[in-house]
């Protein structure tokens, strides 16, 4: 990996010394089976930068350069896009019925391919676990199902951890990788480390800007920060301020009645509430519902005794948006001064914390 990037740096230096420059790149496609298929090159958000047609499966086009980011080349006849990471190098695309697309697109795309190769192992292992889980379901082996489910969750988290460690050492490609992560366990420190290693020359790239915005948002809920007060409609009527909820420790729990994992977690929270409430523990539910009747029904069905608020704006809930909540359930634990002391605590960890601090 280091040799690849060193070679790219030397090539860049030599090119600069020659006095030559380039403001574009060449896209070449050679896929005879695609015939005269339309071709479209798009960026995230469906921004179209090129449209054309193959001629007997071939195309060569000179395109204006753009910021480094994942790019989609749609060849309509094939029914599936070719995705690569653009770093300004020429792009050559071929296709094999057995192995799929082969894309040559520069050193950063080579690194992205290397990451994909590592991720393929996780995918194969996950398929094996899925087969084992189906067998356990057929035999009604609940213990085996639970073990396999936990193993699958650990596998997914290992994959995301591998991706974020890769992102921390791969410049602007790393920023793009970090933004694509689906893990709810990425920390502010993880993303800040990715952001800080991006070279200044890429600070105008859209993925750097997006990651910087996400890091800023996540920083609002960093340990030691003051939780911002909000007022929303209470489930019992009127409005309620977050910091008006009394307790030595208050868990701000982001959930929704339509969220199955949230509902599955509620019994454990009820148990913790019943155990520690008289000692100073409280919970404030912040619902990402959009239907008031469903919200009220979920509270009643799950027997949630703690205060609840919502603005019924779904994922645009003002509080969750401010704190960058992209997955639920999530939570933020604050003390009686409104200072954030922990985030995203599983019931077992939360119980341990409360046992030691109340």
pLDDT band with cut points at 50, 70 and 90 for residue 1 = very low
The two counts, helices (H) then strands (E), for the chain are 10, 15
Q: Are 217 and 188 in contact (CB under 8 A)?
A: no
pLDDT score at 3: 32
**Average pLDDT of 254-281?**
96
d(CA 243, CA 338): 7
Pairing of strands 69-75, 80-86: antiparallel
pLDDT score at 241: 97
d(CA 112, CA 129): 26
Tokens of 313: 């704006």
**Average pLDDT of 114-135?**
86
Q: What is the pLDDT of residues 9-38, one digit of tens each?
A: 333 333 333 333 357 999 999 999 999 999
Q: What is the pLDDT of residues 155-187, one digit of tens each?
A: 888 888 899 999 999 999 999 999 988 776 778
Q: Would you give the distance in Å from CA 27 to the centre of its chain?
A: 30
Q: Are 194 and 180 in contact (CB under 8 A)?
A: no
Helix axes 142-167, 171-180, angle to 10 degrees: 150
Q: Which residues pair with 253 in a beta bridge?
A: 285, 331
The verdict on whether omega for the bond into residue 329 sits within 30 degrees of 0, i.e. cis, is yes
Residues 6+ apart with CB under 8 A from 12: none
Which has the higher per-residue pLDDT, 9 or 333?
333
d(CA 61, CA 27): 5
Share of the chain above pLDDT 90, in %: 73
Kindly tell me the burial class for residue 280, based on how many C-beta atoms sit within 10 Å of its own C-beta (0-12, 13-18, 19 or more).
Answer: middle
pLDDT score at 18: 32
What Å distances lie between residue 286 and 136, 195, 234, 237, 268, CA to CA? 36, 30, 10, 14, 17
Residue entry with tokens 């996780």: 122
* DSSP symbols for 203-240: TTSHHHHHHHHHHHHHHTTSTTPBPPP-EEEETTSSEE
As a whole number, the mean pLDDT across the chain is: 89
Pairing of strands 281-287, 249-255: parallel
d(CA 143, CA 155): 18
**Average pLDDT of 193-215?**
95
Q: What is the pLDDT of residues 67-77, one digit of tens each?
A: 999 999 999 99
Tokens of 279: 């000692």
* Predicted TM-score of the model (pTM): 0.74
How is the chain split among helix, strand and coil, in percent rounded to 5?
45, 25, 30
d(CA 231, CA 245): 11
pLDDT band with cut points at 50, 70 and 90 for residue 121 = confident
d(CA 207, CA 213): 10
């Amino acid at each position: 990996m280091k040799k690849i990037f060193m070679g790219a740096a030397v090539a860049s230096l030599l090119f600069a010394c020659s006095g030559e420059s380039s403001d574009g790149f060449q896209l070449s496609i050679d896929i005879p089976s695609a015939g005269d298929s339309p071709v479209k090159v798009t960026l995230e958000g469906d921004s179209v930068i090129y449209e054309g047609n193959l001629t007997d499966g071939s195309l060569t086009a000179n395109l204006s350069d753009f910021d480094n980011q994942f790019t989609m080349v749609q060849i309509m006849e094939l029914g599936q896009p070719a995705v690569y990471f653009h770093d300004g190098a020429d792009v050559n695309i071929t296709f094999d019925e057995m192995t799929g697309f082969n894309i040559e697109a520069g050193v950063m795309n080579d690194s992205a391919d290397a990451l994909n190769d590592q991720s393929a192992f996780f995918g194969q292992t996950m398929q094996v676990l899925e087969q084992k889980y189906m067998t356990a379901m057929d035999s009604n082996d609940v213990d085996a199902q639970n073990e396999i489910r936990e193993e699958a969750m650990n596998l997914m988290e290992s994959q995301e951890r591998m991706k974020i460690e890769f992102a921390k050492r791969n410049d602007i490609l790393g920023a793009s990788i970090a933004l694509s992560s689906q893990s709810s366990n990425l920390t502010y420190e993880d993303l800040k480390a990715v952001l800080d290693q991006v070279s200044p020359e890429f600070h105008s790239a859209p993925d750097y800007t997006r990651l910087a915005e996400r890091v800023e948002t996540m920083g609002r809920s960093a340990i030691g920060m003051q939780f911002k007060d909000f007022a929303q409609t209470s489930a019992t009527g009127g409005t309620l301020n977050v910091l008006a909820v009394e307790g030595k420790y208050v868990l701000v729990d982001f959930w929704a009645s339509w969220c199955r994992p949230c509902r599955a977690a509620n019994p454990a929270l009820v148990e913790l509430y019943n155990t520690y409430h008289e000692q100073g523990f409280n919970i404030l539910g912040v619902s990402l519902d959009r239907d008031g009747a469903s919200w009220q029904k979920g509270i009643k069905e799950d027997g949630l005794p703690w205060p609840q608020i919502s603005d019924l704006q779904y994922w645009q809930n003002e509080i969750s948006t401010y704190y960058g909540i992209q997955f639920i359930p999530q939570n933020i634990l604050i003390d009686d001064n409104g200072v954030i002391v922990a985030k995203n605590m599983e019931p077992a960890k939360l119980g341990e914390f409360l046992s030691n601090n109340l």
